[in-house]
Amino acid sequence: MILLGPSGCGKSTLLRMVAGLEDPSVGDVFIGEQRVNDELPKLRDIAMVFQSYALYPHKTVRANIEFPLKVRGVPKAERAEQALHAAEILGLAEYMKRKPGQLSGGQRQRVALARAIVRKPAVFLMDEPLSNLDAKLRGDTRTELVDLHRRLDSTFIYVTHDQVEAMTMGSRVAVMNAGRLEQVGTPQEVYDRPASAFVAQFIGTPPMNVLPVGLLGTNDVQVGIRPEHLLLASEGRLSGNVYQVEHLGHEVLVHAESTAGRLVARVDPASDLPVVGDAVRFDAADHHLHRFDAHSGMRVS
Amino acid sequence: MKRKLRDLPPALLMLVPSLGLLAVWTIYPLVRAVDYGHKACDISVRNCRDVGWDRYWTVFQSKEFQDALLVSLKLALMTVPVGLVLGIGLAVLADKQLKGIGIFRTVFSSTVATSVAVASLVWFVLLQPQVGVLADLLSGWIPKLKNPGLLNDSSTALPAVALSSIWASLGFTFIIIMAGLQSVPRDLYESAFVDGAGSFRRFTNVTLPMLTPSILFVTVVLTTRALQAYGEIALLTGGGPQDTKATTTIPYLIYGNNSLVHNDIGIKSASAVLLFLLCLTFAAVQFRGFGKRVHYGN
């Protein structure tokens, strides 16, 4: 499960409530069948990976990974064995004697993961664990996390503001905005049938074009069109002037200023491309139009 | 190398203010003291003659110096551990996010703005056998408070001085440890909490290790202060009580009015240099001893 939303939407707070670091003012937190509102974090069968990794700088990698077991009074030999096992899963076995300060960002991140894995919790809680990594490492670690999720076969709750992470990693995505849950669904559902104009514009790069109230619809709806569904058509219902053409290789983004505001269309590079300054017309098939209530922003039909 | 040489003149120029202060207030007096240490002078300090560098060894071996050294070490042993534990305790207590905690922080740190003279006077009055509040309140429990008074009994005078000294240094310790605490990432506590560590485990596994730089710093400063204790001795006991020399520390031996070596600038200088070496040794030992246990960030 991915919690996705812009900064300050409450996704981290929600995660911290599940962890027991914060108390919900209303509502219940269930883990499995059990209501855990009044339970201490240690009784919730969870492990958390922090954005900063929260490793103990004075402890070795081994001691860091063993710490949750030590707290639980697991005997020394067993502790060492389980820590080594967790370290092996993440390729850390050769770094066990180092301190976190002697590791790279990616390695530290793995230590934090190993420390979570070693507890064999029912739920893993991850608060933007990849946001301190560089782009390349982030991509690799993303794949590894998906693999890890499959192997461990337990629940991950994963907070991110990065829609690419959400779309590629999530079995389900919960999109949040301003403290409210906007939509829960598979990444495909969230993309194909966004429950609100907010979700529609938050997910997808470039974001969905949302037209002013009334255009291509009745006076109480806003119509949204994904850039890949907005077609160049000489008889199209929307007109505008091209002000930017972005060549991305496998696709071309055509940006136009129109009566409907700024529009973006994703175009096949093999087609007949307009140039900056051209007057163009756009259209889209009716079944590709998303309709949202003009006031609430919620999806209609 | 060439580059370094080229940078030297502007670097020196910018160092002049600090070097100047250091030279006038530290290096020059130190050199003079070292020099006086092997001379015998008359009272005017104009007529001196060389008595040889083994004067230092003679002074070190003298009974007066050995006694004072023992008193200084005892004072350090009483004030440093207690001051440190109390300071850390108060800082941890005040590190909570509670309403009105600012008042406590101010109160706990207030002694940092108190001079040794004021602190000593406060304790002198508190401990005064006839009118002192502590003497009145606690004399049932500790009869010596009334008769003859803690500062007038050779067995309690040094602990009483230590008490005043601990109190006076507490604000300093509190502020440094408090600052150290506030730089500990909250994530570490939360992570330990989620992993099931109770408050004691969090203290020993997160707080203490993260505080080691502050603790080392405070230990070195408190030890140096204890070894250099003069003001509280001069004001509270005059090195006494009476002729017992029970509180004659090395600095009192050097400066004190009732000091045995009152007039001999040669012996005083030699003692001062020996004290300097002692402080230096202690600081070095503490830095080395803590060594690997100190963690500066990650």
CATH no. for residue A211? Answer: 2.40.50.140
| A233-277 tens-digit pLDDT | 888 888 889 989 999 888 899 999 887 788 899 988 888 888 888
In a domain, A190, yes or no: yes
In a domain, A202, yes or no: no
Range of the domain at B82: 55-293
Write down the pLDDT at residue B22. 92
Least reliable range by pLDDT among A100-114, A129-143, B12-26, B235-249 = B235-249
Write down the pLDDT at residue B197. 81
Structural domains in chain B (count): 1
**Percentage of residues of chain A with pLDDT beyond 70:** 100
Q: Are residues A155 and A42 in the same domain?
A: yes
Instruction: Report, in this order, helix, strand and coil percent for chain A, each rounded to 5.
Output: 35, 25, 40
Domain boundary among A197, A224, A242: A197
Phi-psi region of B58 (alpha: psi -120 to 50; beta: other; left: phi over 0): alpha
B238: exposed, middle or buried (Cβ count in 10 Å: 0-12, 13-18, 19+): middle
Residue B10 clears pLDDT 50, i.e. is over it: yes
Q: Which residues of A touch B193 (CB under 8 A)?
A: 21, 41-42
Residue A192 clears pLDDT 70, i.e. is over it: yes
Write down the pLDDT at residue B82. 93
Write down the pLDDT at residue A186. 92
Contact B268, B261 (CB under 8 A): yes
**Percentage of residues of chain B with pLDDT beyond 90:** 4
In a domain, B68, yes or no: yes
DSSP-assigned states of every residue in B237-261: TTTSSTTS-TT--HHHHHH-TT-TT
Nearest CA in chain B to A49: B191
Here the CATH number for the domain that contains residue A176 is: 3.40.50.300
In a domain, B245, yes or no: yes
Residue A102 clears pLDDT 70, i.e. is over it: yes
Residue A27 at interface with chain B, using a CB cutoff of 8 Å:
no
Write down the pLDDT at residue B33. 82
In a domain, B26, yes or no: no
Tokens of A212: 């002013």
Residue A33 clears pLDDT 60, i.e. is over it: yes
Helices (H), chain B: 2-22, 28-36, 55-61, 63-94, 101-109, 116-127, 133-138, 157-182, 186-194, 199-202, 208-227, 231-236, 250-255, 265-290
Q: Are residues A111 and A253 in the same domain?
A: no
Write down the pLDDT at residue A138. 84
Contact B295, B210 (CB under 8 A): yes
Nearest CA in chain A to B295: A58
In a domain, A298, yes or no: no
Q: Are residues A56 and A135 in the same domain?
A: yes
Residue A177 clears pLDDT 50, i.e. is over it: yes
Cβ separation B188–A54 shorter than 8 A: yes
Nearest CA in chain B to A99: B298
Return the residue in B97, B184, B186, B195 with the most chain A beta carbons within 10 A, the one to mutate for interface testing.
B195
Contact A160, A4 (CB under 8 A): yes
Q: Are residues A192 and A216 in the same domain?
A: no
Q: Are residues A26 and A174 in the same domain?
A: yes
Q: Are residues A143 and A44 in the same domain?
A: yes
Range of the domain at A259: 207-293
Q: Which residues of B touch A73 (CB under 8 A)?
A: none
In a domain, B4, yes or no: no
Those residues with Cβ within 8 angstroms of residue B205's Cβ, 6 or more apart along the chain or in another chain: A56, A59, A67, B192, B197
Q: What average pLDDT is seen over chain B? A: 80
In a domain, B103, yes or no: yes
| B220-241 tens-digit pLDDT | 888 888 888 888 888 878 767 7
Structural domains in chain A (count): 2
Q: Are residues A226 and A83 in the same domain?
A: no
In a domain, A48, yes or no: yes
Q: Are residues A244 and A187 in the same domain?
A: no
Contact B211, B123 (CB under 8 A): no
Write down the pLDDT at residue B150. 66
Torsion of CA B273, B279, B280, B286, to 10 degrees: 170
In a domain, B29, yes or no: no
Residue A64 clears pLDDT 50, i.e. is over it: yes
Write down the pLDDT at residue B92. 85
Residue B298 clears pLDDT 50, i.e. is over it: no
> What whole-number distance in Å separates Cα of residue A182 and Cα of residue A203?
12
| A202-230 tens-digit pLDDT | 888 888 988 888 777 777 888 889 999 98
- Of residues B61 and B172, more confidently modeled: B172
| B245-288 tens-digit pLDDT | 777 888 887 877 666 666 777 778 888 888 888 888 888 888 78
Q: Which residues of B touch A50 (CB under 8 A)?
A: 187, 190-191
Average of per-residue pLDDT across A36-56:
85
Here the CATH number for the domain that contains residue B226 is: 1.10.3720.10
In a domain, A264, yes or no: yes
Q: What average pLDDT is seen over chain A? A: 86
> What whole-number distance in Å separates Cα of residue B6 and Cα of residue B12?
11
Number of Cα atoms under 13 Å in the Cβ half of residue B280? 6
Q: Which residues of A touch B290 (CB under 8 A)?
A: none
Nearest CA in chain A to B208: A58
- Number of residues in chain A: 301
- Number of residues in chain B: 298
> What whole-number distance in Å separates Cα of residue A287 and Cα of residue A175?
24
Write down the pLDDT at residue B269. 83
Residues paired with residue A181 on neighbouring β-strands, in sequence order = A176
DSSP state of B185: -
